A and B are shown apart, each in its own frame.
Chain A
């Protein structure tokens, strides 16, 4: 479902937002805005106290959401409604500890039951076969990341255990806005695409319309996180703020 959505969206942008920023009700409003504006899929991050793959913006967003009282029970309660209210596929991103805390398989079942289409875990174990098998069995797309440092044999292993789309990390580094997209990205994407039929989407550092335009000439989609989350932080009207920001990217 995620791969079709990406393929069927001419300008496939996957926005990332932090759940519970500034509140779960407002997260719901943001999701509905993003869906109506034509997001290919929506990635919702479960805030974690120690997000080691994230830069300053997502770190701050996560802390704000947790300080505002984010809880997994409330999240799942809302998630059901969000998934039911839109046709856009919802992808949940979480560090492994929060989803492991109550049993990783149980949590995956619960995500699936809520109507979630995919799962991204930035700190999966190096050999996540069991988790992949479970995802495969229940029909939850386990979306895997391929980094600029990933060697070809490892890329092949990852692609064998990847569903939905391939998340190509554009830079060596953490998430966050950047001025330029790195040289060599086009080549890196070409290389990955030569090994898979899955859509390949680029994330980390995508922060302006020019980046989106460039990347979409060689990749199937882009993931935009920090740039959008930054607009939510401190905005009196997050849904409006994200609407303006997302429109500027998609037009």
Chain B
């Protein structure tokens, strides 16, 4: 069925938004067939974002773990994370559609910063919804967005985190649907967002695949990426789905069984924000509040394609808790001189366990963002 990955995905939205989704779907399909659009996207990726990002061999980390570890350096993108790939892609689409007002949600603030950056670049009005809890713990990104000219609106409803920011962005969109483009930052939400976000993020996997083949003349044994909504992971995985490469998504195990953000491990299928996917919910279908030290992973749902990839077994999803992520943050900082975002630290952290049984294997880890934004959290930790 259209817009579904197996039983997951779909369009579960207020009727008011359905025509807007159809318009978006048509515009996106048209853009995909337009060579000029692709060229425009590629040129911004190269000259503005700084792509291709390097694939760095992490020598000291490799020695430490006992594997051959390559890092896909999305942290080196302009604005410091993979989010800019999607923000530029979608803003080019919004311009094509004649929309002059951009709204976005943000958790860690990375997608908000990327969107505010793209809006500054094109001179478009930008409104970013952000949970008031996230505003507190990611203050630097809030200041960055404001400097870039975005209007950051605190969301105080619900748990005042990413899920509530998404709900509020949807409410804005329903109200201002005529002139507004909703620039969703993860591979979640109603169709066509999951495939659109994957499309713009697939540049990560396409580059990494080519780079490892050039460097090593062979594919890696395994790829590891962190999964919140799952946009960096799906962008990376998309190039390797048909290859004999093990794919691992790492979910945030937070403080343990009762306080985490691991929707695939602990959730059940349900509908939130317009799509059916694994969802952390109680017995009555109320959405549970989540916890992760990494705000970008602190979301009760996950992209529908990940739910499908989990159900088919093509990708395995593993758990890393707050403390393990922090340890990995320090490890990569000291061994490689690279400070990873706490989100990406989850992917790094899983190497420790995986490496014990896979000595000598070649792995690519998607280093989705840099950790400057997390210094406050890291320095405040007891490690």
List A residues at the B interface (Cβ < 8 Å): 48-53, 55, 59, 63, 66, 70-72, 95-101, 122-127, 144-151, 154, 158, 169, 172-174
Contacts and interface: CB of A to CB of B under 8 A. Distances in A.
Interface stretch (B131-139, B219-227, B280-288, B325-333): B280-288
B67 interface: no
A149 B286 contact: no
Contacts of A59: 157
A149 B177 contact: yes
Contacts of B171: 52-53, 55, 173-174
Interface string B268-281: 10111110000101
Given A49-B158, A52-B170, A174 B19 contact: no
Contacts, number: 112
B273 A52 contact: yes
Contact of A50 (B10, B167, B175): B167
B13 to A, nearest CB: 6
Contacts of B271: 95-97, 100, 123
Given A98-B285, A101-B284, A148-B16, 15 more contacts: A48-B286, A49-B287, A50-B273, A63-B157, A96-B271, A100-B271, A122-B15, A126-B10, A126-B11, A145-B14, A147-B14, A150-B15, A151-B19, A169-B15, A173-B16
Nearest to B171: A174
Contacts of A100: 270-271, 285
Max chain A C-beta neighbours (<10 A), residue from B1, B174, B273: B174
A158 B19 CA distance: 13
Contacts of A50: 158, 163-164, 167, 272-273, 287
A154 B18 contact: yes
A66 B1 CA distance: 35
Contacts of A122: 14-15
30 contacts: A49-B287, A50-B164, A50-B272, A51-B167, A52-B167, A52-B170, A53-B171, A53-B174, A59-B157, A63-B157, A63-B158, A97-B279, A97-B285, A98-B286, A101-B270, A101-B283, A122-B15, A123-B274, A125-B10, A126-B3, A127-B1, A149-B17, A149-B20, A149-B177, A150-B18, A150-B19, A154-B18, A154-B19, A169-B16, A174-B171
Specify the main secondary structure of chain B where it touches its partner: mixed
Interface in B260-313: 268, 270-274, 279, 281, 283-287
Contacts of A154: 18-19
Max chain A C-beta neighbours (<10 A), residue from B14, B19, B164, B174: B14
A162 to B, nearest CB: 11
Nearest to B274: A123
Interface of B: 1, 3, 10-21, 157-158, 163-164, 167, 170-171, 174-178, 268, 270-274, 279, 281, 283-287
A172 B3 CA distance: 24
A173 B17 CA distance: 10
Contacts of A63: 157-158
Nearest to B177: A172
Contact of A52 (B1, B14, B15, B270): B14
A154 B17 CA distance: 12
B46 to A, nearest CB: 37
A50 B279 CA distance: 13
A59 B155 CA distance: 13
Nearest to A124: B12
B32 to A, nearest CB: 21
A169 B12 CA distance: 17
A124 B15 CA distance: 9
Contacts of B19: 149-151, 154
A99 B274 CA distance: 15
A146 B163 contact: no
B157 to A, nearest CB: 6
